[in-house]
Amino acid sequence: MTDTIKNAMILAAGFGKRLQPIIGNLPKPLVKIAGKTMLEVAIAALNKLKDIQNIYINVHWQAALIRDHVKNLDTDKNIYLVEEEVILETGGGILNVLNKIPSQYLLIKNADVLLLNSTILYENLIHDFYKKAPTALLMLVNKNGLKATGDFSLAEDNYIFRGAENDYIYTGCGILSKDLFKDINQVEPFPLSKLLFLSQKDNYKKYNYRGLILPEEAQWFDIGTPESLSKARSIVFTNSGLTVI
């Protein structure tokens, strides 16, 4: 692999409708955990990755509020806001950013995902990507003990595919190659799962999607509902030794 992972993207264009009963018109990326917005936490972690030079943030709902917030954040990275006139969903939004950069690879993170002490996790993700050079490398968590539907099954050498058991949940973080989108001719709204779920039990080596499994002690939260937000805040508050980055 000759190209390095210089670019990251924070997906922040959603409406956050399930959280609106408690956050009102505040965009989900600006919800606070331990006094820091989720967007601030994400940028702080990416700021510590030496290879990353540019951070792209796609916006739609309450774009002006996010733009004003980003202006006041401390970072030595170049930050670019990419405004979507129409929400492009995860797949379309990522492709839109990939079309704007010369590099082959993009580190992605959903703005509504909280990873505690995440810098080391991103470093592991980048290291694994350089080592294996997959089309997509997704950060996954075992669904044991979680009330959630799994996304992928795991094969040898951490190949992943959409199967019958699907014991692993996609965390919303990963690294993608432009090759993932080679058959998409134009930017339009579509979910990333449309491409990721092409990998099946009988063809997963063809697609070359891999997984990086989070260690059991890792703290991962998908802040999509009032309940998940309350849980994340409670765990961070009661574990004051945790570093929210």
Looking at residue 87, which CATH number applies to its domain? 3.90.550.10
Residue 243 lies in a domain: no
Residue 244 lies in a domain: no
- Rounded-to-integer distance, Cα 148 and Cα 150, Å: 6
Edge to edge, what strands does the sheet with 168-177 contain?
Answer: 78-83, 54-59, 7-11, 105-110, 168-177, 136-142, 209-213
Residue 181 lies in a domain: yes
Full residue range of the structural domain in which residue 64 is found: 7-238
pLDDT reported for residue 238: 63
Please give the DSSP secondary-structure letter assigned to residue 165: S
Q: Which tokens in the block code for residue 214?
A: 């989070």
Contacts of 2 (CB under 8 A, 6+ apart): none
Residue 1 lies in a domain: no
Note the helical H segments in 35-117.
38-47, 63-71, 89-98
Category of 117 on φ-ψ map: left (φ > 0), alpha (ψ -120 to 50) or beta = left
Residue 71 lies in a domain: yes
pLDDT reported for residue 2: 60
pLDDT reported for residue 237: 66
Residue 65 lies in a domain: yes
Look at the chain and report how many structural domains it folds into: 1
- Rounded-to-integer distance, Cα 68 and Cα 65, Å: 5
Residue 2 lies in a domain: no
pLDDT reported for residue 1: 58
- Rounded-to-integer distance, Cα 92 and Cα 236, Å: 33
> How many Cα atoms occupy the beta-carbon half-sphere of 126 within 13 Å?
22
- Rounded-to-integer distance, Cα 74 and Cα 110, Å: 20
pLDDT reported for residue 241: 47
pTM of the predicted model, to two decimals?
A: 0.94
- Rounded-to-integer distance, Cα 147 and Cα 32, Å: 24
Ranges of residues in the chain whose predicted pLDDT is under 70: 1-2, 237-245
Residue 88 lies in a domain: yes
Give the angle 166-168-173 at the CA atoms, nearest 5°: 130
